[in-house]
Structure 1
């Protein structure tokens, strides 16, 4: 089947494009665009937006897209489809003014059979209406056709879309058996004899396994055929060596190739049990995991290959070996990046089942569309070795209801019928599962508990915001989650899946080992500050297979859940008001720079020996730090604190050593034992003096590593570098230009908050520009932005022409910086 990118020459319009709108005065064309496109990130944020903090005060609205296209005459006797990889949300598709289909789910890919609607003697028109209700999500959703669209053209005899499935069903020393299942669809008449060919090709282009199968195809049929091929001395895929083979499935009639599909596939063996936990290729693997949302910061939700590759690469470098898509099916681009780089994936179906969490989310459609969407999820993932488990849901309240919990069985059974080569989990928040019993349980728990007034003033009704309750209830939550009532209420939900996903239920890790000896647990969502305790348990107990922190990468929406408030008391809601737009709880910030907690995490995982220095904000020294459960520290990596010379400052040093010694400008401040306050951490009180701060770690009296921060000079320049020398001229991908405020010796000055303007010459556009500031009032389509912690980023895209793109950055008192990129 021929698959052609269908991203060019679309026209974006505001409004729904209805006949009534046209009658009342027509519709204004907003602009011509090339997909992928996020309409929400291009709008001014508004503090009065109905989505509020949840959506980061971005705009959600109904929009539509139109496109004209022609088909070659030789397509007349072909089958024509359109694949939409992601449209947020409620997409209605019209071809030549006829309704051709729809898909309510904003995160799933879907197909439109266009065969009977298209014409070959004149232009075709397509219209996609995106009806984005408000509010439709608990985080920044974006809006529009934010992933690729593909035009698919196939013979009457063809392989079904995503219809080639490969699985390593038997992997042993020196040999692997590969099951190949191919779904053939025939929309023509008459009986035909064909040959179904399956080949596996190694990285050097050598065919290492193949099979030819004669098949009789009857008219108007769709059947799946199974072959088994064997690879001698296979190279196995894992996170350390992500080796990929290429597969080729062909339909042959005589000497003619009727259809062909190619892709990549990795051979690996999965095992799961209570003795060893999770094994890949016979080796125990503890999941060093993190959750990620689907936006890419300055470019919103628009998905590009480089953005996906960049994100996975940065997480891998920080020590992660697994990511959880939260809470939606992962994009094809991210799956491809995880395959190539070596990152394990928990791919999640949805945040809701039949009960909505906000008024217009997927819960309004799930009961009618779940089978369609789950099928597309599994078919999309099937040949990707990175995917090791499917999650059927996130924090689903139905899991505590004996009737509604049966949705879990339906979902798990459907997935297993489509793919028996992976595991199924369900990411439960036990508090949400017992929400209908919360009032009585809280009253009982408070009655005999010291500090029982901790939960007063909260609303435990069905509409209470679960994360806000969790942030404020503290120890009360642990009592409720660890209760026998919560355990009994969720027994059936956990029994339906292979792996029990625990969201914020680490208090049950050890008790449930005894209560449910056959249960294998993954920390599907955990507080970032708890890794020091969680990881010790995971390394000790095989029934605990990993930890997925919330969150690995900062994201737009859920504004302020990781924000620290100073002094006074923290109110009930942890959300922050406008202009906060990001959660600010990620190991990586919005532009992918590592925050200090990521180095603490890397040390706990045993992947870093050198200590790491971070400094708490001196302007809040001595203030009470009011944390949410998703924040641990306000420390940043900086020894530039202009205006605080001679004033007290708290320094944090992360290390797995026994002791650490801190010096400022060569003078020892103190030598301390590590872990007295927090594991793998030591805290020092000193006075800020510009110059050098150094930490030296010791174990058994011997130095094990050191870390140094040097104060940058106040006079800085703009340093700009592109992470790619070339980008596609056809706008199919982007690159990032990283901007830093550095002194003459190249030292970053995090305190240099200069305002920098970007301009571009040549065949390119600035797709997005800004900083990681979670509360900036700037828009990502602005061409002027203030540096945050000394850093900015620009995303550059081609405009359809080849040539040299020159990107120029100018700032007050700084010499301009130029970067050249070739559009090829």
Structure 2
């Protein structure tokens, strides 16, 4: 079918979009023109009084609606018309020419609107998308509005249904792969018609790898699924190391005329799961080096762009990850495509809630009525993506410990298996939450918000999780799935391997500081297939769960107050820059041999540190500490070598054994002296690597570079501009927090701009922002015309810097 972008020409309005709004605001001209995707929440100033507070990072959640006028050609009057909304947050109601056309409560679900009967062909049409966003609606930064793509689809009455092509490798042996293709053909017209389904599979060079054709007799007003088989000789397999993709083309022909055609990509790979070998892909054992991610991309909020998602996947691959978990929502199409392209495995998660809400207006209000719709769309969206290896039916669902409500897990798992028998099903269970009803007396007087409870309970939580009561309470829930997802329950890995010998386990959510212990368990026990840390990438909302405070204890306080906007617990910060813990993780995984240096801020030396469970260190990559010359400082070295020797300005200070205090880490106490901080590491007495940090001098230079030279003129994708403050020699100076102003000339606009500072009061739509750890970042988007976009950056005392991009 003809699928075109429907992102341009929308008008954004405040309000609920009802009759009263129409009277007050009049027609669609009274609003703000926007091009989708558009995050309505990140475009508003934050508010310290926002009801969802730290949960949503003090971003504002409000009702809004969008309108758009459009034409459908008179020549298409005998065709079918759909609108695809890839994601609207949330409680979306769609009206076409003032008539109700459909709705979707779930803010992370893609959905389709059959617009055929509402369209006035050859005339102007009006579509309105209304967002009813109750507050609070989520436990983290949700974003708001139409934050993913919208597409217009037009087809013949004889057509392949949207997301109706399913390809899978059902057999693989040396020299041949057997591919099963299922195509759902719908005919909305009258009279019987004879057509041919033609299927072609092309390799990466465009060569025909396999083909098949099938004659079909379609009766009026029918929908049928047809199965074909292809035999691919000498197939090129998709894997993490070699993500080879084939292109498929399925056409519906009537004589010489093509009535409909669908194209897409597909990877040939097999999955196996057992307690002896764990997870195997193409016959090879794979351990999941995983991380959880939320759906926002920092400075652009939740708006989805292909370049932003590719940037994220590439950065995580470079850091050693081979798997990500979409927490806690169905993953968007652009991210799935990036994972296919670069070889990143995916645990795609359905929801954070089932039948009970975690905040007042979340999906728990609607799940019991809408779960089949949303699960079906999730699976159909994912089916042809080789990166997806398992579906998670939920995250930390309290119903998993209730023998009646746990039956929802069976409903979800059975539905997924009926739609897709090629992948595995898991459930990310927090056992402490599952037994909350049974330990209510023990928790008397404590907060029942799960993150706060976990952080405050400390070792008691491990004892509860390891208890027989937790094991028994979750037996039924884990029996319903192929893989048992353990959130913060590594203490059970070995005991449950004996207690439940047929259980496959994955650490679906773990504390970052525990990887050294957890990874030993993953490698030791084949039935434990991997570890997903919380979290791989910093995110907006759940403000302050990874922050470190100093001095007197804040008692039971957990989340941070305004102006904190971010969790600040990711291996990557909000801009995608690697934080020290990510290098330690890479060493634990065995993917990094070079040592890595980081330094604990000397201004907090000697103060009591208060870390949450989602923190490991306050160390940063800097040897610039003005005003602390001669003062004590703690240096951290990450290495898998036996020993490490520290040098300052070439002077040997001390050699220490690594891993004494924590695996792959060694701490040195010294004093801050500007110059060169250097470490050498040794194995069996032989030097195996060095790392150094250089103090930037007092000169300051502004530098900027775009990460691509061209962007689409229509605004369908973005480029990032990386900005840093260095000395004249090019050494980054993390101390410099100068305010840098940005502007754009030509056919482009600044979509988002800012730093990774979790405590900054700046908005991402501001044109001036202070550097954090010496860095800033901007996202640039086209405005509809071709030409040269000039980005200008200015800060006091530095030469003005310009960056040019082509809008094409």
- TM-score bracket, shorter-length normalisation: over 0.9
What's the C-alpha RMSD, in Å, of the aligned pairs? Answer: 0.9
Q: What is the distance in 2 between the residues matched to 1:504 and 1:62?
A: 36
Deviation at 1:121, TM superposition (A): 3.3
Deviation at 1:122, TM superposition (A): 1.5
Q: 1:384 to 1:478 in 2, by over 3 A?
A: same
Q: What is the distance in 1 between the residues matched to 2:293 and 2:25?
A: 43
Q: 1:515 to 1:370 in 2, by over 3 A?
A: same
Deviation at 1:17, TM superposition (A): 2.3
Identify which of 581, 600, 603 aligns with 2:584: 600
Q: What is the distance in 1 between the residues matched to 2:464 and 2:557?
A: 20
Question: What TM-score, normalized to structure 1?
Answer: 0.97
Q: Deviations over 1:114-158 (max 9, x none)?
A: 000000132000000001110000000000000000001010000
SS in 1 for 2:802: strand
- Runs of 4+ displaced beyond 4 Å: 24-28
Work out whether 1:8 is the aligned partner of 2:15.
Answer: no
Q: What is the distance in 1 between the residues matched to 2:558 and 2:776?
A: 27
Q: What is the distance in 2 between the residues matched to 1:21 and 1:9?
A: 20
Q: Deviations over 1:725-769 (max 9, x none)?
A: 000111110000000001111111111111100011111000000
User: Which residue matches 1:458?
Assistant: 446
Question: What TM-score, normalized to structure 2?
Answer: 0.99
User: Which residue matches 1:366?
Assistant: 367
Work out whether 1:42 is the aligned partner of 2:43.
Answer: yes
User: Which residue matches 1:445?
Assistant: none
Q: What is the distance in 1 between the residues matched to 2:505 and 2:488?
A: 12
User: Which residue matches 1:257?
Assistant: 258
Work out whether 1:243 is the aligned partner of 2:227.
Answer: no
Identify which of 744, 757, 760 aligns with 1:760: 744
Work out whether 1:107 is the aligned partner of 2:95.
Answer: no
Q: 1:751 to 1:121 in 2, by over 3 A?
A: same
User: Which residue matches 1:452?
Assistant: none
User: Which residue matches 1:675?
Assistant: 659
Q: 1:25 to 1:553 in 2, by over 3 A?
A: closer
Q: What is the distance in 1 between the residues matched to 2:410 and 2:291?
A: 26
**Structure 1 residues 338-349: aligned runs within 5 Å:** 338-349=339-350
Deviation at 1:206, TM superposition (A): 1.0
User: Which residue matches 2:22?
Assistant: 22
Deviation at 1:380, TM superposition (A): 0.2
CA contact (8 A) 1:714 1:749 kept: no
Q: 1:24 to 1:260 in 2, by over 3 A?
A: closer
User: Which residue matches 1:615?
Assistant: 599
Q: What is the distance in 2 between the residues matched to 1:168 and 1:713?
A: 58
Deviation at 1:192, TM superposition (A): 1.0
User: Which residue matches 2:167?
Assistant: 166
Deviation at 1:26, TM superposition (A): 4.4
User: Which residue matches 1:284?
Assistant: 285
SS in 2 for 1:68: strand
Segment of structure 1 superposing worse, 201-210 or 180-189: 201-210
Q: What is the distance in 1 between the residues matched to 2:189 and 2:22?
A: 40
Q: What is the distance in 2 between the residues matched to 1:25 and 1:823?
A: 34
Q: Deviations over 1:175-228 (max 9, x none)?
A: 000000000000001111111111110111111111111111111011101011
User: Which residue matches 1:207?
Assistant: 208
Work out whether 1:640 is the aligned partner of 2:624.
Answer: yes
Q: What is the distance in 1 between the residues matched to 2:205 and 2:291?
A: 34
Work out whether 1:499 is the aligned partner of 2:477.
Answer: no
Work out whether 1:128 is the aligned partner of 2:129.
Answer: yes
User: Which residue matches 2:535?
Assistant: 551
SS in 1 for 2:586: helix
CA contact (8 A) 1:14 1:29 kept: no
CA contact (8 A) 1:513 1:519 kept: yes
Q: What is the distance in 2 between the residues matched to 1:30 and 1:623?
A: 52
Q: What is the distance in 2 between the residues matched to 1:457 and 1:670?
A: 49
Work out whether 1:706 is the aligned partner of 2:707.
Answer: no
SS in 2 for 1:650: strand
Deviation at 1:74, TM superposition (A): 1.5
Q: What is the distance in 2 between the residues matched to 1:37 and 1:121?
A: 28
**Structure 1 residues 654-803: aligned runs within 5 Å:** 654-803=638-787
User: Which residue matches 1:525?
Assistant: 509
Q: What is the distance in 2 between the residues matched to 1:273 and 1:472?
A: 37
**Structure 1 residues 179-198: aligned runs within 5 Å:** 179-198=180-199
Q: Deviations over 1:388-412 (max 9, x none)?
A: 0000000000001111101000000
Q: Deviations over 1:710-733 (max 9, x none)?
A: 111121111000000000111110
SS in 2 for 1:40: coil
SS in 2 for 1:759: strand
Segment of structure 1 superposing worse, 247-256 or 718-727: 247-256
**Structure 1 residues 133-144: aligned runs within 5 Å:** 133-144=134-145
User: Which residue matches 2:553?
Assistant: 569
User: Which residue matches 2:469?
Assistant: 485
Q: What is the distance in 2 between the residues matched to 1:492 and 1:748?
A: 54
Segment of structure 1 superposing worse, 702-711 or 16-25: 16-25
Q: What is the distance in 2 between the residues matched to 1:456 and 1:99?
A: 48
Q: What is the distance in 1 between the residues matched to 2:392 and 2:758?
A: 29
Segment of structure 1 superposing worse, 699-708 or 176-185: 699-708
Count, aligned residues: 807
Segment of structure 1 superposing worse, 368-377 or 28-37: 28-37
Q: Deviations over 1:280-315 (max 9, x none)?
A: 111110000000000010010000010010000100
Identify which of 790, 793, 797 aligns with 1:806: 790
Work out whether 1:356 is the aligned partner of 2:357.
Answer: yes
Q: What is the distance in 2 between the residues matched to 1:21 and 1:771?
A: 37
User: Which residue matches 2:314?
Assistant: 313
Task: Give structure 1 stretches of 5+ with no counterpart.
Answer: 443-454
CA contact (8 A) 1:551 1:585 kept: yes
User: Which residue matches 1:585?
Assistant: 569
Q: Deviations over 1:35-59 (max 9, x none)?
A: 0000100111111000100000000
User: Which residue matches 1:293?
Assistant: 294
User: Which residue matches 1:70?
Assistant: 71
